Amino acid sequence: MIDLRSDTVTVPSPAMRAFMLEAPVGDDVFMEDPTVIELEQTIAKIFGKEAALFCSSGTQTNQIAINVHVQPGGEVICHEESHIYKYEGGGIAKNSGASVRLLQGDRGRLSASEIEKWINPAQDVHFPITQLISLEDTANRGGGAIYDAQVLEKISDLSKKLKLPLHLDGARVFNALAENAMPAAQYGQFFDSISVCLSKGLGAPVGSVLIGSHEFIHKARRVRKVLGGGMRQAGIIAAGGLFALKHNVARLKEDHLHAKALENALLKCTFIEKVVPVQTNIVVAILKNAEQRDLLISKFAEKGIKCMAFGPGMIRMVTHLNISQQDIDYCVNIIEKM
Ligand SMILES: *Cc1c(COP(=O)(O)O)cnc(C)c1O
């Protein structure tokens, strides 16, 4: 089976497993796990930040960040299709008692002018106090769309001017960095906190990291503990992330080329209305006849290709490090024949 449902389906390579097996470990709640410490210091340095915190998932890193930045009754500004709102089980309300202001924006992205319009006047007691701006780069529901550096700079300037923290859900931030060619340490300066998934295109089996200042990470560490996320000999899984940062970042462009090839093949299909222009590793296709979505997915499955329903009349294919050039050639051939 060629599994294009998500980049979360990647499995650790034999080399990654060997590295994990050998990793030195200790009790990370005592902050004595050398591998976790190395991972946290490595990723903080990559983004030009002081500190980081290894967590079980990207949902956990996002939810911790929100909890640190926002007080109950405060408001988070994010895109209406953002992961923090749509796919985290109502965690903003449940964990942090916060309100959300959901904005529309091109392919999951926001602009500084749109954000500025929706910042509530703090002196008016009617309104929840705006306390956080959260962005997603790349934007999953936007078909892997990337932010322009200039747009991020404007949003970052706005957040600094208003003293509003800016969080990045960077589940796929390395896919964005592979294309926008910004040095990560410079990119990191736009944000107060960054969440990065190690278990997607980077190919580690488990884990995400939250990145920020010493003060922020100290607070985040407490929230992680409260949520039951303090792990003991976590180095054995953190090692997968460390290995991924060393070996699986530079190759991400390959996945983007593969996604482009799938896009081009889908564009030739008579039953496809539109493909969201591919920028990274996510391909979203919109069918002419929405009713045929599940039939199409099962036709692909019969040919050994797994893809995912992505809303009414939409399918998603995601490329990743377990998809080879040969797999892509096969998929292109199947798609063009369909
Ligand atoms: C996958 C993902 C996350 C985190 O998901 P987990 O499964 O909790 O690790 C967060 N944001 C985006 C945009 C994602 O795609």
Is the pLDDT assigned to residue 181 strictly greater than 90? no
> Does 58 sit in the ligand 1 pocket, CB within 6 Å?
yes
pTM of the model: 0.97
Label residue 189 by pLDDT band (50, 70, 90).
very high
Q: Point out the ligand 1 atom lying closest to the alpha carbon of residue 140.
A: 13
The 3-class SS string of 292-310 reads HHHHHHHHHHHCCEECEEC
Average pLDDT score over the chain: 98
Q: Which amino acid is at 85?
A: Y
**Distance from residue 111's CA to the centre of ligand 1 (Å):** 22
- Ligand 1 neighbourhood includes 208 CB (under 6 angstroms): yes
Q: How many CB atoms lie within 10 A of CB 294?
A: 10
Q: Whose CA is nearest to atom 2 of ligand 1?
A: 171
pLDDT at 164 over 90: yes
State yes or no: pLDDT of 85 exceeds 90: yes
Res 247: pLDDT: 98
260 has pLDDT over 90: yes
Distance 186 CA to ligand 1 centre (A): 23
Nearest CA to ligand 1 atom 6: 58
> Which candidate, 282, 273, 206, 244, places its Cα nearest to that of 54?
206
**Strands in the chain per DSSP E:** 2-3, 51-55, 75-79, 99-103, 130-136, 166-170, 193-197, 208-212, 272-275, 282-287, 305-306, 308-309, 314-318
- Between the CA of 144 and the centroid of ligand 1 the distance, in Å, is 13
Any ligand 1 atom below 6 A from CB of 176: no
Q: Determine if ligand 1 sits within 6 Å of the CB of residue 137.
A: no
Q: CB–CB of 109/145 below 8 Å?
A: yes
Listed residue (240, 243, 235, 211) closest to 61, CA to CA: 211
What is the C-alpha to C-alpha distance for residues 166 and 274, in angstroms, rounded to an integer? Answer: 33
**DSSP bridge pairs for 284:** 316
Residues in contact with 210: Cβ distance below 8 Å, sequence separation at least 6, in sequence order: 52, 53, 55, 61, 64, 65, 193, 194, 195, 217, 220
| Mean pLDDT within 281-305 | 97
Per-residue pLDDT of 25-66, as tens digits, reads 999 999 999 999 999 999 999 999 999 999 999 999 999 999
What number does the ligand 1 atom closest to the CA of 88 have?
8
Verify whether ligand 1 is closer than 6 Å to residue 7 (CB atom).
no
Question: Once rounded to an integer, what is the mean pLDDT over residues 253-276?
Answer: 97
What mean pLDDT do residues 108-134 have? Answer: 97
**pLDDT confidence of residue 211:** 99
Confidence check: pLDDT of 336 > 90: yes
Res 4 pLDDT > 90: yes
Closest by alpha carbon to 34, among 58, 54, 48, 18?
Answer: 54
Return the number of other C-beta atoms located less than 10 Å from residue 270's C-beta: 6
Q: Is the pLDDT of residue 297 over 90?
A: yes
Closest residue by Cα to residue 266 from 286, 252, 282 = 286
Q: Confirm or reject: Cβ of 140 under 6 Å from ligand 1.
A: yes
From the list 29, 12, 30, the residue with the least C-alpha distance to 21 is: 12
Average pLDDT in the 10-22 region?
98
pLDDT band at 323 (very low <50, low <70, confident <90, very high): very high
Helix (H) or strand (E) holding 92: helix 91-96
> How far, in Å, CA of 250 to CA of 311, rounded?
32
- CB of 169 sitting under 6 A from ligand 1: yes
Q: Are 240 and 205 in contact (CB under 8 A)?
A: yes
Residue 136 CB less than 6 A away from ligand 1: yes
Mutate to test the pocket of ligand 1, among 54, 55, 82, 83 (most ligand atoms within 8 A of CB): 83
**How many angstroms separate the alpha carbon of residue 171 from the centre of ligand 1?**
6
Atom of ligand 1 nearest to the CA of 208: 9
The model's confidence at residue 319, banded by pLDDT at 50, 70 and 90, is very high
Q: What domains appear along the chain, each with residue ranges and CATH number?
A: 11-247 (3.40.640.10), 251-337 (3.90.1150.10)
- For position 124, what pLDDT does the model report? 96
